[in-house]
Amino acid sequence: MAIEPPGAGLSDPFLWRVSSAQVEASGPFSRFPGQMRTLVLLKGAGFLLDFGGKGRQRLKHPGQVVTFSGDDTVNATLIQGACVDFGVISDPRRVETDVQWLTLGTSPTSITLAPTTLLFAPWGPVHVDPLGLELEPCDCLWFGAAAAEAPTQGAGSKLKLRAAFGTTPLVVLSIQPV
């Protein structure tokens, strides 16, 4: 979805990377030495993450968040079939990340933008005011100096977010320099 600096690859030094993936089979996760990883379950019955001698964590509900070191050897076991996750990989020496799962209703929920903020609407639609934008399912909106065609809102600006109808989740990623 997005990477800083734009155009970097996984083998290049990067500050952070955001992606969503369909996990089709049980197996090992890729290691990212020196990085932090955050996963959010979006769809499916979830999976069990085995951190070897460091314990286990089960992601079984959409919106559940787990953070772990990219140095860890992690094996995932699917609980009941394929799942979809949202993932953040970041350099903890240079940035601090915070991932929140908001359940939006038709009344506005206010957020304050961090120096870099990404909004991901896994199921959409989500209204973003005062910009007058609507995020459709799987849309990602990036606010920050390096964002291509970034909206004009900057750090400290307030947004009002609401579901177009009923309720819908929104993943909010806030990134601050260390």
Print the SS3 string covering 98-117: EEEEEEECCCCEEEECCCEE
Model confidence at 151, in pLDDT bands (50, 70, 90)? low
Q: Is the peptide bond before 33 cis (omega within 30 degrees of 0)?
A: no
Largest CA distance in the chain: 49
Per-residue tokens: 12: 């290049």
What Å distances lie between residue 33 and 10, 72, 99, 177, CA to CA? Answer: 12, 8, 21, 20
Q: What is the mean pLDDT of residues 94-111?
A: 96
| Burial class of residue 147 in the structure, from the number of CB atoms within 10 Å of its CB (0-12 exposed, 13-18 middle, 19+ buried) | middle
Model confidence at 7, pLDDT cuts 50, 70, 90, reads: confident
Confidence of residue 10 (pLDDT cuts 50, 70, 90): confident
pLDDT digits (tens, 9 = 90+) for 112-145: 999 999 999 999 899 999 999 999 999 999 998 6
Q: What is the mean pLDDT of the chain?
A: 91
Q: Is the pLDDT of residue 150 over 60?
A: no
Residue 145: the pLDDT is 63
pLDDT at 47: 92
169 vs 163: CA distance, rounded Å: 8
CATH node for 2-90: 2.60.120.10
Cα pseudo-dihedral 89, 176, 141, 123, rounded to 10: 60
Full-model pTM: 0.91
25 pLDDT exceeds 90? yes
Domain range list for the chain: 2-90, 95-177
Helical (H) or strand (E) element with 170: strand 168-177
Place of tokens 């359940």: 103
CB atoms within 10 A of CB 176: 12
Q: What is the per-residue pLDDT across 34-72, written as a single tens digit (0 to 9) for each?
A: 999 999 999 999 999 999 888 999 999 999 999 999 999
Cβ contact 104:163 at 8 Å? yes
| CATH code of the region 95-177 | 2.60.120.10
Over the stretch 154-172, which tens digit does the pLDDT of each residue have? 778 899 999 999 999 999 9
- Look at the alpha carbons of 63, 101, 177, 1 in this order and tell me if their dihedral is positive or negative: positive
| 98 pLDDT above the threshold of 70 | yes
DSSP assignment string, 4-73: ESTT--TTS--SEEEEEEEE-S-EEPPP-TT-EEEEEEEESS-EEEE-GGG-EEEE-STT-EEEEETTS-
pLDDT at 148 over 90: no
